[in-house]
Structure 1
Amino acid sequence: MVSGLEEIHLATIVLVLMAGFSAGWVDAVVGGGGLLQLPALLLVPGISPVQALATNKLGSIFGTTTSAVTYYRRVHPDLRTALPMAGVALVGSFGGAILAASLPSSVFKPVIVAALVAVAVFTALKPTVGTLTKLKHQGVRHHGTAAGIGLVIGFYDGLIGPGTGSFLIIAMVTLLGYSFLGASAKAKIVNMATNFGALMFFLPNGSILWGLGLLLGTANMAGGYLGSRMAVSRGSTFVRVVFLVVVGALILKLGYDVWIENLRPLVSAS
């Protein structure tokens, strides 16, 4: 069992740090950095899936916090929407993490793949969506919709995780009317809360590898800072393009998981 960095080869640490930096950049722009970071952690000899998940959340919270602060200083997102949404998402993430301990994620993955395909097709066919902020609702309806998005996607983040930032962005663009850049800025605040909610579950059971997690967090911070600055300077069109690339990668990754876990055994049996 891995208890500290002294048991991990230098090459593995370098690989994990490279993945952490890249994940921080991707997360800062559109989310989905877990596609890079979590598989890299699973390459660490002796690490358990729970340790990988917990350490991944520790590293990610450094990157999402850095991105959230950078976006706030440069974009000034509306905290009246983002903060209540983040609070509800934290509760949802904690609940999802509890359920994740007893329910296999393979139950949900086919539904998630279908949703991602629909999101990718919609975004590709609607090039003007998300270029400007045109809020669809005001007042109680706006905040109620935002809270619903936070609760559902926060729960998903605690339960499964990959693509949380991407789902937050597309939900805020399509259901609330934000631009891709504005949605990405708010998504970082919400994603920071969902990471913290999951950590609240993992902390008491000692699953976090602190040495590796803090190094990963440093790399994630650097990537998050660079990614958020690039997103702000290049605008919503840049965020939209990266969004489509990341969603495409998510579809391939989760689609492969569905094949391995659900479909291939059926084909082999027949």
Structure 2
Amino acid sequence: MHDISLLTLVLLCAAAAAAGWIDAVVGGGGLLQLPALLVGLPQVAAAHVLGTNKAVAIVGTTAAAITYTRKAPVDVRTAIRIGAAAVAGSFGGAFFASGINSAVLRPLIMVILLAVLTFVLLRPAFGATAATGPVSRNRILLAILVAGLGIGFYDGLIGPGTGTFLVIALSAILHLDLVTASATTKVVNTCTNAGALVMFTAQGAVLWSVALPLAVFNLAGGMVGARMALRRGTGFVRVVLVVVVVTLVCKLAYDQWLA
């Protein structure tokens, strides 16, 4: 085990469980888990923290994806196609990440998030019901381009809120209700996490002794979150979505002007 105290490990496990729950319901669990790892492992290189975070997150997203696909009407084939595009997009984003000034990107992302928040609050019917009938091939292609390549690129470039963006994009483009959009997002996220984890593992940037115990708690949180979303429905997911978007805006504002 990496040299951390028992109290730190317990707190990290609690954060991993909460992150798994948030991620399963609406995405954005990294808002909690990644900062917790950065605080709990202050002497560890950033690349190793990111790699460890992916090793933990993939367990929760996989469990949530399995739970959702058993109960929700998820088009797994379409989700995997979007996920494959997202992996390609994230590789591209990671390639350009070193040359991007995140201080310039944060204000832009905050504006986008505030616009999304306004839209969700002013459109109470958004994501409440799914469209009837099959989704057109054009909409599927648009989802692959926007949710796959576009948001995947963002994930590799900067990352925070990727799951939340996916939920909103899939709901808007494919006319999915928020529960089904969350379910589809978990399949996509599993693909993107797998791609990133392969790269981090090849670089030796995963602290497995820390990741494995945290993954157990992230798994439990993900399963509980998925079941709650399925049981409580779209209204519950909508409330969590608003809370996560507000939290993301506050975090980005803090990083931009106060940190």
2:241 to 231, 240, 243: 243
1:73 aligned counterpart, secondary structure:
helix
Shift in CA distance, 119/22, structure 1 to aligned 2, threshold 3 Å: same
Q: Choose the corresponding residue for 1:107, options 99, 104, 117.
A: 104
Q: 1:135 to 1:57 in 2, by over 3 A?
A: farther
Return the TM-score normalized by structure 2: 0.94
Deviation at 1:16, TM superposition (A): 0.7
Aligned to 2:16: 20
Give the TM-score normalised by structure 1: 0.90
1:200 equivalent in alignment to 2:167: no
Q: For residue 99 of structure 1, report the CA deviation from its aligned partner.
A: 2.8
Shift of 1:80: 3.1
- CA–CA distance in structure 2, aligned partners of residues 51 and 32 of structure 1: 20
Cα offset, 1:34, TM superposition: 0.7
Count of aligned positions: 257
Equivalence map 1:1-270=2 (5 Å): 4-5=1-2, 7-43=3-39, 44-134=41-131, 138-148=135-145, 149-260=147-258
Quick one: structure 1 residues 136 and 56, their matched pair in 2 at CA, closer, same or farther if it must change by over 3 Å?
farther
Report SS of the residue matched to 1:244: helix
Amino acid at match of 1:69: I
Query: Deviation at 1:45?
Result: 3.8
Q: Is the 8 A contact 2:76 2:187 kept in 1?
A: no
Question: Residues 217 and 242 of structure 1: is their aligned pair in 2 closer, same or farther, counting only changes over 3 Å?
Answer: same
Shift of 1:174: 1.8
CA distance in 2, matches of 1:9, 1:192: 30
Task: Tell me the distance in 1 between the aligned counterparts of 2:152 and 2:134.
Answer: 22
CA-CA distance at 1:176 after TM superposition? 2.2
Deviation at 1:245, TM superposition (A): 0.5
Deviations 1:174-219 (A, max 9, x none): 2221110110010000111111122232222211111111112111
Following superposition, which runs of at least 4 residues in structure 1 exceed 4 angstroms of deviation?
A: none
CA contact (8 A) 1:97 1:198 kept: no
Cα distance 1:199–1:103, how it changes in 2: closer, same or farther (>3 A)?
Answer: farther
Q: Measure the CA separation in 1 of the matches of 2:154 and 2:20.
A: 20
What is the distance in 2 between the residues matched to 1:49 and 1:98? 17
Q: Deviations over 1:50-95 (max 9, x none)?
A: 1111111110000000000000011130123211111111111222
Residue 240 of structure 1 deviates from its aligned partner by: 0.5
- 2:132 & 2:94 partners in 1: Cα distance? 32
Residue segments in structure 2 that go unaligned for 5+ positions in a row? none
CA contact (8 A) 1:135 1:176 kept: no
**Partners of 2:100 and 2:202 in 1: how far apart?**
20
Distance 2:82 2:149 in 1: 8
Contact kept, 8 Å, 1:60 with 1:220, in 2: the verdict is yes
